[in-house]
């Protein structure tokens, strides 16, 4: 019997040696979320994008991500880190008016850093820090704002002039720090959105722009590799929206239908908030309702349910939405672009790209579509954080995960300094020695008990206690 025990223990010691170093939960609980603004889902088919395709092979792909309405930059970036539709997180547009505050928000203005615009929700970096984790943010919309009395542990104040490479070096540095590394990072880059607006997505000049984004993704991969983090950090690369081609042949001028004296115009094409002057709601609505076949005109309470864009005072009493590819202006002095987004989120032209890889994700798995709000519960699951109340569902993206994903019942991340690439042997040796010591210790105690009390041997059942990392706690 003793011989069998020794054999079983040796086997377990070997298992422990193999399992402990690769199952350290902190490996699975690091995530870097990257957004290339305006990267439409099918851009990866437009031109060779070897880095995007490498991530698809090494990890997972959702071909088209269904983003939230309105398909604009600020609302969707806040949805990605809160799992909420715009009506519930409160950043309902890039330019918006709050009647209670009697204030206007413009994403390019200093008021964008006023916490009151953001405090209707709690972004993931705040939740991470409340649970004892550390976060790093490189220019993600809202990440330089003191939301819920909290800044990210590390962040860069928004500066459009800072190069992608500098953003990456800074952020990867926070992940690689020996003391107190971050477990969650967000990274934002303004392209290919800016070029998409200027050139139009159908322009052949977009091809080198897309190729350049792929090269930037390559730079990020290389930086993670040289920091020894490429296989440690879960990397999620997505975007806020797509882009559609416009034309000067497809413009609606509102001045033809409605006097400017009757309303205030809020935001820009293709979805504009109309705030009628006192007592003018019906007059304004009836002037617009059937004015032009290329405009959808909604009273706020009539906005289709599927938009989830109704229950917030920052959504104006009347919303006008241009048909796909159309532009709505007051008159032609308002300015015109060759590409735009913001339209109905059911349109595939509005959908962004999604690829991800890392210890939590499957290899070479692809699916056609998913909802962007489901990314938030997925990220919470990977980081073992309790999600705030949200509009997503883990079931929407759980199939992207490997079978043995991290335990969700686990305590907050310990964030022990992660071994640098030059010293992985150290961690393995410590892990293995710990495993061996545990098993041998148990064996000694057990043999003592058996020889003293002459009890029948039933070792294997109890030994499971030393293997909690193998259990699968997917439910949350």
Positions touching ligand NAG (CB under 6 A) are 84-85, 88, 102, 159, 161-162, 166, 308, 331-333, 389-391
Q: Does 27 bind Zn ion (CB under 5 A)?
A: no
Smallest distance from ligand NAG to CB 449, Å: 52
Q: Return the one option of Zn ion, ligand NAG, none that residue 405 interacts with (CB less than 5 to 8 A, by type).
A: none
Smallest distance from ligand NAG to CB 38, Å: 21
Q: Does 73 bind Zn ion (CB under 5 A)?
A: yes
Smallest distance from ligand NAG to CB 166, Å: 6
Please state, in angstroms and rounded to a whole number, the distance separating the CA atoms of residues 241 and 41. Answer: 9
Q: Does 193 bind Zn ion (CB under 5 A)?
A: yes
- Which residue, 247 or 331, is less far from ligand NAG as judged by CB? 331
Q: Return the one option of Zn ion, ligand NAG, none that residue 162 interacts with (CB less than 5 to 8 A, by type).
A: ligand NAG
- Note if 248 is an active site residue: no
Q: Return the one option of ligand NAG, Zn ion, none that residue 409 interacts with (CB less than 5 to 8 A, by type).
A: none
Per annotation, catalytic residue among 49, 68, 71, 73:
73
- Number of neighbouring beta carbons within 10 Å of residue 470: 12
Q: Return the one option of Zn ion, ligand NAG, none that residue 358 interacts with (CB less than 5 to 8 A, by type).
A: none
Q: Return the one option of Zn ion, ligand NAG, none that residue 240 interacts with (CB less than 5 to 8 A, by type).
A: Zn ion
- Which residue, 75 or 413, is less far from ligand NAG as judged by CB? 75
Smallest distance from ligand NAG to CB 42, Å: 28
Q: Does 267 bind Zn ion (CB under 5 A)?
A: no
Smallest distance from ligand NAG to CB 391, Å: 4
- Taking CB under 5 A as the criterion, the residue among 26, 27, 37, 223 binding Zn ion is 37
Residues contacting Zn ion: total by CB under 5 A = 5
Q: Does 195 bind Zn ion (CB under 5 A)?
A: no
Q: Does 240 bind Zn ion (CB under 5 A)?
A: yes
Smallest distance from ligand NAG to CB 162, Å: 4
- Which residue, 88 or 153, is less far from ligand NAG as judged by CB? 88
- Which residue, 53 or 130, is less far from ligand NAG as judged by CB? 130
Q: Return the one option of ligand NAG, Zn ion, none that residue 102 interacts with (CB less than 5 to 8 A, by type).
A: ligand NAG
- Active-site residues, by number, are 73
- Residues of this chain that bind Zn ion (CB under 5 A): 37-38, 73, 193, 240
């Amino acid at each position: 019997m003793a011989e069998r025990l020794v054999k079983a223990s040796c086997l377990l010691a070997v298992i422990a040696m193999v399992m402990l170093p690769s199952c350290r939960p902190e490996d699975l609980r690091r995530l870097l979320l990257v957004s290339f603004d305006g990267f439409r889902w099918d851009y990866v088919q437009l031109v060779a994008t070897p880095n995007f395709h490498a991530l698809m092979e090494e990890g997972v792909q959702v071909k088209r991500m269904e983003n939230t309405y309105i398909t604009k930059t600020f609302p969707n970036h806040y949805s990605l880190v809160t799992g909420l539709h715009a009506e519930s997180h409160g950043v309902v547009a890039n330019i918006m008016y709050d009647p209670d505050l009697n204030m206007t928000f413009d994403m390019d203005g200093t008021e964008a850093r006023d916490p009151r615009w953001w405090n209707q929700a709690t972004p993931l970096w705040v939740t991470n820090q409340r649970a004892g984790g550390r976060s790093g943010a490189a220019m993600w919309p809202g990440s330089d704002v003191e939301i819920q009395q909290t800044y990210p542990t590390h962040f860069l104040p928004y500066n459009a002039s800072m190069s992608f490479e500098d953003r990456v070096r800074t952020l990867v540095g926070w992940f690689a720090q020996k003391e107190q590394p971050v477990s969650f990072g967000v990274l934002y880059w303004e392209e290919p959105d800016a070029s998409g607006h200027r050139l139009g997505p159908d322009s052949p000049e977009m091809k080198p722009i897309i190729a350049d984004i792929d090269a930037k993704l390559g730079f990020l991969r290389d930086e993670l590799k040289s920091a020894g983090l490429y296989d440690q950090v879960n990397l999620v690369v997505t975007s806020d929206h797509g882009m559609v081609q416009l034309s000067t042949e497809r413009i609606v001028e509102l001045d033809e239908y409605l006097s400017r004296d009757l309303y205030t115009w809020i935001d820009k094409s293709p979805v504009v908030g109309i705030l009628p002057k006192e007592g003018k709601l019906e007059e304004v609505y009836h002037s617009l309702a059937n004015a032009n076949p290329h405009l959808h005109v909604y009273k706020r309470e009539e906005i289709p349910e599927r938009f989830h864009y109704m229950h917030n005072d920052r959504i104006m009493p009347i919303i006008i939405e241009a048909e796909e590819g159309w532009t709505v202006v007051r008159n032609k002095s308002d300015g015109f672009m060759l590409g735009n987004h913001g339209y109905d989120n059911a349109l595939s032209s509005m959908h962004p790209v999604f690829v991800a890889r890392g210890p939590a994700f499957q290899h070479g798995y692809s699916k056609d579509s998913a909802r962007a709000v489901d990314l938030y519960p997925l990220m919470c699951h990977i980081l073992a954080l309790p999600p705030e109340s949200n509009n997503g569902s883990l079931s929407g993206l759980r199939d992207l995960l490997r079978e043995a994903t991290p335990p969700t019942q686990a305590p907050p991340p310990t964030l022990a300094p992660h071994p640098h690439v030059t010293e992985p042997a150290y961690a393995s040796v410590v892990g293995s020695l710990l495993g061996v010591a545990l098993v041998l210790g148990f064996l000694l105690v057990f043999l003592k008990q058996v020889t003293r009390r002459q009890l029948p041997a039933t070792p294997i059942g109890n030994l499971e206690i030393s293997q909690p990392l193998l259990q699968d706690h997917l439910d949350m």
